Structure 1
Amino acid sequence: MIRSGLLFFMGTLAVVAARDSKSTRVECQSPFVGVGGRCLHLEHTFSGTWRAMRKFCQNLGGDLINLADLNFYCDVILYINSLNVPKVSYWIGATDEAAEGSWQ
Protein backbone atom coordinates (compact mmCIF):
# COMPACT_ATOMS: atom_id res chain seq x y z
CA MET A 1 0.00 0.00 0.00
CA ILE A 2 1.33 3.43 -0.87
CA ARG A 3 0.61 6.24 1.58
CA SER A 4 0.90 9.95 1.04
CA GLY A 5 3.06 10.94 3.97
CA LEU A 6 2.50 14.03 6.10
CA LEU A 7 1.66 17.30 4.32
CA PHE A 8 -1.89 18.08 3.19
CA PHE A 9 -3.87 16.04 -0.51
CA MET A 10 -5.18 17.05 -3.98
CA GLY A 11 -1.94 18.55 -5.24
CA THR A 12 1.66 17.63 -5.51
CA LEU A 13 4.99 19.18 -4.72
CA ALA A 14 7.76 18.92 -7.26
CA VAL A 15 11.24 19.90 -6.31
CA VAL A 16 14.48 20.28 -8.21
CA ALA A 17 17.63 20.54 -6.12
CA ALA A 18 19.52 23.78 -6.41
CA ARG A 19 22.93 23.66 -8.04
CA ASP A 20 24.52 25.36 -5.03
CA SER A 21 23.17 23.60 -1.95
CA LYS A 22 24.83 26.15 0.37
CA SER A 23 22.87 29.06 -1.08
CA THR A 24 19.37 29.91 0.10
CA ARG A 25 18.74 31.93 -3.08
CA VAL A 26 18.34 30.08 -6.32
CA GLU A 27 17.09 31.08 -9.76
CA CYS A 28 14.31 28.80 -10.95
CA GLN A 29 12.59 28.46 -14.30
CA SER A 30 8.80 28.63 -14.48
CA PRO A 31 6.72 26.97 -13.10
CA PHE A 32 9.21 26.57 -10.24
CA VAL A 33 9.94 29.15 -7.53
CA GLY A 34 12.88 29.34 -5.14
CA VAL A 35 12.10 28.04 -1.65
CA GLY A 36 14.79 27.21 0.89
CA GLY A 37 17.55 27.10 -1.72
CA ARG A 38 15.65 24.72 -4.00
CA CYS A 39 13.23 25.06 -6.88
CA LEU A 40 9.68 24.13 -5.92
CA HIS A 41 6.38 23.82 -7.77
CA LEU A 42 3.15 23.53 -5.82
CA GLU A 43 0.49 21.98 -8.07
CA HIS A 44 -3.17 22.81 -7.40
CA THR A 45 -4.70 21.93 -10.78
CA PHE A 46 -4.05 18.20 -11.09
CA SER A 47 -4.56 15.36 -8.63
CA GLY A 48 -3.94 11.63 -8.77
CA THR A 49 -2.25 8.66 -7.18
CA TRP A 50 1.24 8.85 -5.69
CA ARG A 51 2.70 7.21 -8.81
CA ALA A 52 0.78 9.46 -11.21
CA MET A 53 1.81 12.61 -9.38
CA ARG A 54 5.42 11.45 -9.18
CA LYS A 55 5.37 10.98 -12.95
CA PHE A 56 3.83 14.47 -13.29
CA CYS A 57 6.73 15.91 -11.28
CA GLN A 58 9.31 13.97 -13.26
CA ASN A 59 7.81 15.27 -16.51
CA LEU A 60 8.50 18.79 -15.18
CA GLY A 61 12.12 17.83 -14.52
CA GLY A 62 11.67 17.36 -10.76
CA ASP A 63 10.39 14.75 -8.36
CA LEU A 64 8.13 14.56 -5.34
CA ILE A 65 9.55 16.60 -2.49
CA ASN A 66 11.95 15.15 0.09
CA LEU A 67 11.40 16.80 3.47
CA ALA A 68 14.24 15.12 5.38
CA ASP A 69 15.80 18.50 6.24
CA LEU A 70 13.93 20.35 9.03
CA ASN A 71 14.97 23.82 7.83
CA PHE A 72 13.75 23.09 4.31
CA TYR A 73 10.52 21.63 5.71
CA CYS A 74 9.92 24.86 7.65
CA ASP A 75 10.67 26.95 4.55
CA VAL A 76 8.13 24.90 2.56
CA ILE A 77 5.43 25.28 5.24
CA LEU A 78 6.03 29.04 5.43
CA TYR A 79 5.83 29.26 1.64
CA ILE A 80 2.56 27.29 1.48
CA ASN A 81 1.04 29.42 4.25
CA SER A 82 2.10 32.62 2.47
CA LEU A 83 0.12 31.59 -0.62
CA ASN A 84 -3.16 31.70 1.26
CA VAL A 85 -4.41 28.59 -0.56
CA PRO A 86 -6.99 26.12 0.79
CA LYS A 87 -5.55 23.56 3.19
CA VAL A 88 -5.33 20.35 1.19
CA SER A 89 -3.02 17.35 1.25
CA TYR A 90 0.03 17.00 -1.00
CA TRP A 91 1.95 13.93 -2.05
CA ILE A 92 5.58 13.84 -0.90
CA GLY A 93 8.45 11.57 -1.90
CA ALA A 94 8.19 9.24 1.11
CA THR A 95 6.76 5.79 0.41
CA ASP A 96 6.38 2.51 2.26
CA GLU A 97 5.81 0.58 -0.97
CA ALA A 98 8.79 -1.77 -0.44
CA ALA A 99 7.81 -2.71 3.14
CA GLU A 100 4.61 -1.63 4.93
CA GLY A 101 5.45 0.85 7.68
CA SER A 102 9.08 1.25 6.57
CA TRP A 103 9.24 4.74 5.09
CA GLN A 104 11.87 5.67 2.53
Structure 2
Amino acid sequence: MLAPRTVLLALTVACGALADTPAASDVPGYFLNMLMWNGEASERYHGSPLVPAVLAAASSTVAATACPAPFFPVMSQCFWTSTSYKLSWDDARSFCQQMGGDLAEPLYLTALMVHLQNHYPAGKEFHLGASDLEKEGNWTYLSGRPVDPRGWMAGEPNDPAHDQNCLNFCFQGCRASYPPLNDQYCHREKNFVCEFFVA
Protein backbone atom coordinates (compact mmCIF):
# COMPACT_ATOMS: atom_id res chain seq x y z
CA MET A 1 0.00 0.00 0.00
CA LEU A 2 1.35 3.40 -1.01
CA ALA A 3 2.11 5.91 1.72
CA PRO A 4 -0.35 8.85 1.93
CA ARG A 5 2.52 11.27 1.19
CA THR A 6 3.36 9.42 -2.05
CA VAL A 7 -0.27 9.38 -3.16
CA LEU A 8 -0.70 13.08 -2.38
CA LEU A 9 2.45 13.95 -4.32
CA ALA A 10 1.26 11.99 -7.35
CA LEU A 11 -2.18 13.65 -7.23
CA THR A 12 -0.55 17.04 -6.83
CA VAL A 13 1.58 16.66 -9.94
CA ALA A 14 -1.38 15.29 -11.91
CA CYS A 15 -3.51 18.24 -10.83
CA GLY A 16 -0.80 20.61 -12.05
CA ALA A 17 -0.81 18.99 -15.49
CA LEU A 18 -4.58 19.50 -15.75
CA ALA A 19 -4.75 23.06 -14.49
CA ASP A 20 -5.19 25.89 -17.00
CA THR A 21 -5.96 28.87 -14.77
CA PRO A 22 -3.57 30.72 -12.44
CA ALA A 23 -5.77 29.95 -9.42
CA ALA A 24 -6.03 26.27 -10.25
CA SER A 25 -2.38 25.82 -11.09
CA ASP A 26 -1.31 27.33 -7.77
CA VAL A 27 -2.88 24.42 -5.87
CA PRO A 28 -0.15 21.90 -6.81
CA GLY A 29 2.48 24.51 -5.97
CA TYR A 30 0.99 24.84 -2.51
CA PHE A 31 0.94 21.11 -1.81
CA LEU A 32 4.39 20.50 -3.29
CA ASN A 33 5.79 23.11 -0.94
CA MET A 34 3.93 21.60 2.01
CA LEU A 35 5.31 18.18 1.10
CA MET A 36 8.88 19.24 0.36
CA TRP A 37 9.66 22.33 2.41
CA ASN A 38 8.93 23.66 5.88
CA GLY A 39 9.05 27.09 7.48
CA GLU A 40 9.82 30.24 5.54
CA ALA A 41 10.39 28.43 2.25
CA SER A 42 6.69 27.59 1.96
CA GLU A 43 5.32 30.57 3.85
CA ARG A 44 4.13 32.38 0.74
CA TYR A 45 1.69 29.57 0.00
CA HIS A 46 0.12 29.54 3.46
CA GLY A 47 -1.71 32.79 2.88
CA SER A 48 -3.23 31.71 -0.43
CA PRO A 49 -7.04 31.42 -0.55
CA LEU A 50 -7.12 27.67 -1.16
CA VAL A 51 -10.87 27.02 -1.31
CA PRO A 52 -11.51 29.05 -4.52
CA ALA A 53 -8.38 27.55 -6.06
CA VAL A 54 -9.45 23.99 -5.21
CA LEU A 55 -12.91 24.61 -6.67
CA ALA A 56 -11.36 26.01 -9.85
CA ALA A 57 -9.03 23.01 -10.13
CA ALA A 58 -11.91 20.58 -9.60
CA SER A 59 -13.94 22.21 -12.38
CA SER A 60 -11.06 22.19 -14.87
CA THR A 61 -11.66 19.78 -17.75
CA VAL A 62 -8.71 20.52 -20.03
CA ALA A 63 -6.31 17.81 -21.19
CA ALA A 64 -2.77 17.52 -19.87
CA THR A 65 -0.05 19.51 -21.56
CA ALA A 66 1.17 17.84 -24.75
CA CYS A 67 4.91 18.30 -25.18
CA PRO A 68 6.71 17.40 -28.42
CA ALA A 69 9.59 14.94 -28.02
CA PRO A 70 12.14 15.23 -26.51
CA PHE A 71 10.50 17.79 -24.20
CA PHE A 72 8.72 16.53 -21.07
CA PRO A 73 5.86 18.12 -19.12
CA VAL A 74 6.22 19.69 -15.69
CA MET A 75 2.93 21.19 -14.56
CA SER A 76 1.75 23.25 -17.57
CA GLN A 77 5.20 23.73 -19.16
CA CYS A 78 7.45 21.67 -21.46
CA PHE A 79 11.15 21.31 -20.61
CA TRP A 80 14.28 19.52 -21.77
CA THR A 81 17.44 19.30 -19.70
CA SER A 82 21.06 18.99 -20.73
CA THR A 83 22.98 16.81 -18.30
CA SER A 84 25.64 15.11 -20.42
CA TYR A 85 27.43 18.30 -21.47
CA LYS A 86 27.69 21.94 -20.43
CA LEU A 87 27.60 25.26 -22.28
CA SER A 88 27.90 28.96 -21.53
CA TRP A 89 24.61 30.86 -21.08
CA ASP A 90 24.75 32.31 -24.62
CA ASP A 91 25.62 28.98 -26.23
CA ALA A 92 22.95 27.21 -24.16
CA ARG A 93 20.38 29.73 -25.37
CA SER A 94 21.41 29.16 -28.99
CA PHE A 95 21.15 25.39 -28.45
CA CYS A 96 17.63 25.73 -27.05
CA GLN A 97 16.57 27.96 -29.93
CA GLN A 98 17.77 25.36 -32.42
CA MET A 99 15.44 22.90 -30.64
CA GLY A 100 12.51 25.23 -31.30
CA GLY A 101 12.45 26.78 -27.84
CA ASP A 102 14.60 28.93 -25.58
CA LEU A 103 16.18 28.82 -22.14
CA ALA A 104 13.55 27.93 -19.57
CA GLU A 105 11.34 30.33 -17.64
CA PRO A 106 9.84 28.03 -14.96
CA LEU A 107 6.64 29.22 -13.32
CA TYR A 108 6.90 26.61 -10.57
CA LEU A 109 10.46 26.27 -9.29
CA THR A 110 9.52 23.59 -6.76
CA ALA A 111 7.84 21.39 -9.36
CA LEU A 112 10.85 21.63 -11.67
CA MET A 113 13.17 20.85 -8.76
CA VAL A 114 11.15 17.75 -7.88
CA HIS A 115 11.50 16.48 -11.46
CA LEU A 116 15.23 17.23 -11.65
CA GLN A 117 15.96 15.64 -8.27
CA ASN A 118 14.01 12.52 -9.24
CA HIS A 119 15.90 12.13 -12.53
CA TYR A 120 19.31 13.67 -11.77
CA PRO A 121 19.99 13.10 -8.05
CA ALA A 122 23.63 14.22 -8.17
CA GLY A 123 24.37 17.88 -7.51
CA LYS A 124 23.58 19.96 -10.58
CA GLU A 125 23.60 23.57 -11.72
CA PHE A 126 21.47 24.67 -14.66
CA HIS A 127 21.33 27.87 -16.71
CA LEU A 128 17.82 29.36 -16.89
CA GLY A 129 16.45 32.03 -19.23
CA ALA A 130 16.89 35.13 -17.09
CA SER A 131 19.58 37.76 -16.55
CA ASP A 132 20.22 41.34 -15.50
CA LEU A 133 22.28 42.06 -18.60
CA GLU A 134 20.05 44.94 -19.73
CA LYS A 135 20.04 46.70 -16.34
CA GLU A 136 22.19 45.72 -13.40
CA GLY A 137 20.08 44.35 -10.57
CA ASN A 138 16.90 44.14 -12.66
CA TRP A 139 16.44 40.37 -13.03
CA THR A 140 14.00 39.46 -15.79
CA TYR A 141 13.30 36.41 -17.90
CA LEU A 142 13.72 36.57 -21.67
CA SER A 143 9.98 37.24 -22.01
CA GLY A 144 10.27 40.28 -19.75
CA ARG A 145 8.64 38.60 -16.74
CA PRO A 146 10.47 39.56 -13.52
CA VAL A 147 12.25 36.88 -11.52
CA ASP A 148 10.33 36.22 -8.30
CA PRO A 149 12.60 37.55 -5.51
CA ARG A 150 11.36 34.75 -3.21
CA GLY A 151 13.18 32.21 -5.40
CA TRP A 152 16.71 33.40 -4.53
CA MET A 153 19.00 31.51 -2.18
CA ALA A 154 19.76 33.29 1.06
CA GLY A 155 22.14 36.17 0.35
CA GLU A 156 21.61 36.03 -3.41
CA PRO A 157 21.96 37.71 -5.79
CA ASN A 158 25.37 38.87 -4.56
CA ASP A 159 27.29 40.55 -7.34
CA PRO A 160 29.57 43.32 -6.02
CA ALA A 161 31.65 43.34 -9.21
CA HIS A 162 28.53 43.41 -11.45
CA ASP A 163 29.73 40.48 -13.52
CA GLN A 164 27.42 37.65 -12.37
CA ASN A 165 24.61 38.44 -14.75
CA CYS A 166 22.93 35.14 -15.64
CA LEU A 167 20.39 33.09 -13.69
CA ASN A 168 21.48 29.76 -12.29
CA PHE A 169 19.20 27.03 -10.89
CA CYS A 170 21.13 25.00 -8.35
CA PHE A 171 20.42 22.17 -5.92
CA GLN A 172 22.26 19.51 -3.92
CA GLY A 173 25.65 21.05 -4.52
CA CYS A 174 25.10 24.65 -3.55
CA ARG A 175 25.08 26.46 -0.24
CA ALA A 176 21.34 25.87 0.00
CA SER A 177 18.95 23.50 -1.72
CA TYR A 178 15.86 25.71 -1.56
CA PRO A 179 15.14 28.32 -2.76
CA PRO A 180 17.28 27.34 -5.77
CA LEU A 181 18.15 30.57 -7.63
CA ASN A 182 21.66 32.00 -7.82
CA ASP A 183 23.37 34.64 -9.95
CA GLN A 184 26.23 33.21 -11.99
CA TYR A 185 28.86 34.22 -14.54
CA CYS A 186 27.41 33.97 -18.04
CA HIS A 187 30.58 32.49 -19.50
CA ARG A 188 30.64 29.58 -17.04
CA GLU A 189 29.76 26.29 -18.75
CA LYS A 190 26.83 24.69 -16.94
CA ASN A 191 24.02 22.24 -17.63
CA PHE A 192 20.90 24.03 -18.79
CA VAL A 193 17.13 23.74 -19.12
CA CYS A 194 15.34 24.46 -22.40
CA GLU A 195 11.64 25.20 -22.69
CA PHE A 196 9.23 24.61 -25.55
CA PHE A 197 6.50 27.23 -25.31
CA VAL A 198 3.06 25.72 -25.73
CA ALA A 199 0.62 27.99 -27.53
The answer, yes or no, to whether TM exceeds 0.5 is yes
Question: In the alignment, residue 118 of structure 2 is paired with which amino acid?
Answer: S
Query: Alpha carbons of 1:21 and 1:94: their partners in 2 closer, same or farther (altered >3 Å)?
Result: farther
Question: In the alignment, residue 79 of structure 2 is paired with which amino acid?
Answer: L
* Structure with more contact order per residue of length (Cα contacts < 8 Å, sep ≥ 6): 1
Aligned to 2:110: 74
Q: Name the count of aligned residue pairs.
A: 82
Question: In the alignment, residue 57 of structure 1 is paired with which amino acid?
Answer: C
Q: What secondary structure, in the 3-state scheme, does the structure 2 residue paired with 1:27 have?
A: coil
Matched, 1:61 2:100: yes
CA deviations over 1:47-92 (Å, ceiling 9, x no partner): 111111011111111111113x3xx212101111111432111001
Q: What secondary structure, in the 3-state scheme, does the structure 2 residue paired with 1:80 have?
A: helix
Q: What secondary structure, in the 3-state scheme, does the structure 2 residue paired with 1:46 have?
A: strand
The match for 1:92 among 101, 105, 128 is 128
Higher Cα Rg, which structure: 2
Matched, 1:35 2:71: no
Q: CA RMSD in A?
A: 2.1
- The runs of 5 or more residues in structure 2 that have no matched partner are 1-17, 21-61, 141-199
CA deviations over 1:7-64 (Å, ceiling 9, x no partner): xxxxxxxxxxxxx971582122221111111111011123111111011111111111
TM-score w.r.t. the length of structure 1 is: 0.68
Q: Percent identity?
A: 24
Q: Distance in 1 between matches of 2:122 and 2:77?
A: 23
